[in-house]
Structure 1
Amino acid sequence: MPMRTFNTELTTNATNPFISATKQTFSTMLNCVPERESLTFKANGSGPPPYEVSAIINVTGSADGLVLLSMPVRTSLNIVSRILRTKAESLNDEVIDAVGEVTNIICGAAKVQMEELQLQIDIPTVVVGRNRVIRYPGQITPLSAGFSSEIGEFALEFGFHRSE
């Protein structure tokens, strides 16, 4: 089955709250300002996440969708170092919990705007490894936004389609 592109208005309306919430959370909680470096369609649609540590956020309601916050291990270690003010040396449960907590705060900040679109956000799930396949609903082509910051790079991916 061929990949479908997404509804531009739906995707713009649903992604902007997450981009704003991510920038706000990184700025206030991690004391760094992320800069968007790229905005592209994910060439292979569903597939492996961009980096080793990823938080998956399911979106339901007037549309079905997925938001993915993905980062290299180094960025996740730097998040823990900023939050706990101690150097994190390796990927462990504490690091995974911190990535989940930061993602949960991002979701909370995006929630009001998402509810205005009749969309609900599930609690994020953190996965580790690039040997996983992330399947976006409805055979759509997801949008990928790459960011850089003083604590490292990361990506946000978005894929939405109207519920039938």
Structure 2
Amino acid sequence: MAGTPEKHLQPLDADEEALVRALGRVMYVLPRTIDADMVGERQLPLTEYTALMNLSEAPGRQMRMNELAAACQLSLSGMTRTINRLESLDLVKRVRCTEDARGWNAVLTDAGFARLEESWPSHLASVRRRFLDHFEGFDLAQLARAFRKVGTAD
């Protein structure tokens, strides 16, 4: 590993090791528990909720399928399966991209927006209970900045 600073080759201390292991557990458990909460309350599964949420925030409530997949952290095939299900429920429709006839946009329908609004309280309560409540007293803005840096690191 040419050019790796020596600091990066130092063994982790106990606190660093605990943080890395805890983060791995959070990345595995958190989406599953939020999904289970939402499905248990007969709301949208988390993957579908996330797709509708991203579409609701996009200009014209539409996104290219590959951009939506990236925003939802899914493979394109995983996003296609999700959109197929949402389309079968009339929550989303697919239309050809006007700027590139080879591509497709997913478009949030009015019914999809209404279903998103219906699921929002369940999602919010779960995110607060399963995640945010554990950070009381922390500087959330600083924590968010650190997470963004990790999320954009090469």
What is the TM-score with the length of structure 1 in the denominator? 0.34
What is the TM-score with the length of structure 2 in the denominator? 0.36
Does 1 or 2 have the higher relative contact order (CA < 8 Å, sep 6+)?
1
Larger gyration radius, structure 1 or structure 2: 2
Q: Which has the higher strand share?
A: 1
